[in-house]
Amino acid sequence: MANVIPYSLFTDFDIDLFKGGKHYRLYEKFGSHLVTVNGIIGTYFAVWAPTANQVSVIGDFNHWVDGEFSLNVRWDSSGIWEGFIPYVEKGTVYKYKIHSNNQGYISEKADPYARRYEHNPKTASIVWEDNYQWKDKNWMKTRKSHNALDAPYSVYEVHLGSWKRHETEDRFLSYFELGDELVNYVKEMNFTHVEFMPIMEFPYDPSWGYQVTGYFAPTSRFGYPDEFKYLVDKLHENGIGIILDWVPSHFPEDAHGLGYFDGSCLYEHPDKRKGYHQDWKSLIFNYERNEVRSFLISNAIFWLEQYHADGLRVDAVASMLFLDYSREEGEWEPNIYGGNENLAAISFFKELNEEVYKSFPDVQTIAEESTAFPMVSKPTFMGGLGFGMKWMMGWMHDTLDYFAKDPMYRRYHQNEITFSLAYAFTENFMLPLSHDEVVYGKNSILGRMPGDEWQRFANLRLLYGYMFTHPGTKLLFMGSEFGQYNEWNFQQSLDWNLLEFEPHKNMKLYFSELNKFYRDTPALYEKGFSGEGFEWISYEDTENSVISYIRKGNDPVNNLLVVCNFTPATIKKYKVGFPTNGKLKEVFNSDSKKYGGSGISNSKQITLKKQTWNNREYSGEISLAPLGINIFQVK
């Protein structure tokens, strides 16, 4: 005990907030912090372990000897063990040796609040702090305009370990290298944001980062924490926002992790019906416990505050909302009202979003939620969960199923491509074509397209054109933008060599210019979550498998007419109705020869005539490209 000096960063108010589940900056108190006490430089340690009867800090500084540096338990029944150890410096490797009151259970745990961890497969924590000098002041001042719900929002989803590997050394690119290569590529492709699959420290590569053990540390696979900040800085310097995948739904059972932390179910729910995920073989957080809620909300705030993240995409929300998620009858217990909703998780989400938007009104939280749970992206004062956006999983499944069909039979499935508009404005939807759709035998997006090679690429261009003119924000997984043939493999780089071939090179150009067209066209995003921004012209032409609609922004002069031809037939003199007089000028065409198309276009302006069609007062005749999308501005 003599080797640990009594010291605390906690005030009585901190303890009250922690116990009440209302402390949202716990990372300022818990973990390891370099401090000076009585003129001596060292490290303050604090860990929550209420079932322990002894907690020691062990590490390379004392040859991992148990009991030499035992922390002091606080007197206030908070369950916090703390103390100052002199001369423990930045870079010190350590763990907590925990002796439990529960049947003599002993464990060695990584620090839940550590800012850095050893490189896997090693599992210890590292005393760390950095003095990174941020250079994104201009971005932070103006980012509200980039992250607003009426701004263009096109997201590139990236798995850092497999986006690109070092060409000669067969290793991951570092955060520094990604700060050049990835940032330049995202900028070239005209995405507004990137979304990183989880970069929080995790032990098992095949989990893709979704089994987190170090919630407060960027993974050491790619470098130091300050180097990750450099990557964020470079993105912001180039006008690109960053969204982080965040996983408050479950965590792995690894011995050094959060599971059975102090010989009790501390972070996980003690009832396996609520505390164990059978599909993922992982533990589920106890949303009923105040201290756990504070841990999770503090973690969300940490990434927004300390790493300047512009948003959090919250993983597996549906698994948290429902007590019977992936469970058979008898494997779950109804809530106090007899329903299947997890009331504690629902209140947690509301509290999370209220705190995030209170502290950071210029960011977005995005729910990966696949059910019909109501009002996910509505404010909490209206009874909603408070998220900024929700993934439109129904659109994703219906659209991919439709495009996989032979165009000959699409006429019988027109409702699949139009049904999403029946509910498109019930939430603030993001349209995702994510990593989950290109693994486990589902094929790549290009691989799902029917027909010969030309038709496959034409279908893909049409799919993306339809996606970008459909209401809602956009997300695309890496590799899909240039037509990756193979399914995604987390163990290797994307197939960048495909860009040596014209179809893939053309597809990359197409997607870059489609992104730019989206960003430059207010009618495609200003009213993306409102029925005022969309008007059907025709969804009934099943014979030709053609749909047409208007996209509207704040200024009617920017309105667009969009026509999609889902067959490989070129249709000359296709008649389309329009509600006002004027001239149609083609402003985007997926069938352009520079994209690998056949070059069917409307090179001359088309004068609308006062002749009723599609129940509209005016109409005109246009040429429809095969498997193409033609977009017109009305002058």
Q: Each residue of 455-490: pLDDT tens digit?
A: 999 999 999 999 999 999 999 999 999 999 999 999
In the set 262, 291, 368, 427, the catalytic residue is 368
Beta carbons within 10 angstroms of residue 394's beta carbon? 17
Instruction: Give me the pLDDT at residue 2, please.
Output: 52
Residue length of the chain: 635
Q: Are the C-beta atoms of residues 269 and 275 closer than 8 Å to each other?
A: yes
Domain boundary among 65, 92, 126: 126
Q: Which structural domain, as residue segments, surrounds residue 572? A: 531-634
Q: CA angle, 365 as apex, 364 and 368 as ends, to 5°?
A: 135
- Written as one letter, the residue type at 223 is G
Determine the average pLDDT of the residues in 491-497.
96
In the set 14, 245, 268, 315, the catalytic residue is 315
Closest CA to 140 of 31, 65, 235: 235
pLDDT digits (tens, 9 = 90+) for 529-538: 999 999 999 9
pLDDT digits (tens, 9 = 90+) for 285-343: 999 999 999 999 999 999 999 999 999 999 999 999 999 999 999 999 999 999 999 99
Q: CATH number of the domain at 609, please.
A: 2.60.40.1180
For residue 612, pLDDT over 80 is answered with: yes
In a domain, 289, yes or no: no
Instruction: Give me the pLDDT at residue 604, please.
Output: 93
List the beta bridge partners of residue 352: none
Q: CATH number of the domain at 74, please.
A: 2.60.40.10
- Which helix (H) or strand (E) is 503 found in, with range? helix 502-519
Give the chain's domain count: 2
Instruction: Give me the pLDDT at residue 1, please.
Output: 41
For residue 635, pLDDT over 90 is answered with: no
Instruction: Give me the pLDDT at residue 266, please.
Output: 98
Grouping H, G, I as helix, E, B as strand and the rest as coil, residue 185 is helix
In a domain, 351, yes or no: no
| First-to-final CA distance of the chain | 81
For residue 577, pLDDT over 90 is answered with: yes
Domain boundary among 82, 100, 126: 126
In a domain, 384, yes or no: no
In a domain, 442, yes or no: no
In a domain, 569, yes or no: yes
Tokens of 238: 């180039």
Instruction: Give me the pLDDT at residue 276, please.
Output: 96
Name the average pLDDT for the chain.
96
From CA 492, how far away is CA 104, in angstroms rounded?
44
Determine the average pLDDT of the residues in 248-262.
97
| Residue 288 annotated to the active site | no
In a domain, 258, yes or no: no
From CA 95, how far away is CA 85, in angstroms rounded?
14
| Residue 368 annotated to the active site | yes
Answering whether pTM is above 0.85, one says yes
From CA 467, how far away is CA 399, in angstroms rounded?
9
Determine the average pLDDT of the residues in 19-36.
98
pLDDT digits (tens, 9 = 90+) for 500-514: 999 999 999 999 999
Domain boundary among 71, 97, 126: 126
Instruction: State the residue for tokens 């001239």.
Output: 583
DSSP string, 509-555: HHHHHHHHHHHT-GGGTTTTTSGGGEEEEEEEETTTTEEEEEE--SS
Instruction: Give me the pLDDT at residue 394, please.
Output: 96
From CA 203, how far away is CA 216, in angstroms rounded?
14
Instruction: State the residue for tokens 């997201």.
Output: 155
Torsion of CA 312, 317, 319, 324, to 10 degrees: 160
pLDDT digits (tens, 9 = 90+) for 335-376: 999 999 999 999 999 999 999 999 999 999 999 999 999 999
In a domain, 205, yes or no: no
Q: Are the C-beta atoms of residues 509 and 588 closer than 8 Å to each other?
A: no
Tokens of 510: 């197409």
**High-pLDDT (> 70) share of the chain, %:** 100
Instruction: Give me the pLDDT at residue 135, please.
Output: 97
Tokens of 609: 């005539």
Closest CA to 185 of 499, 518, 456, 464: 499
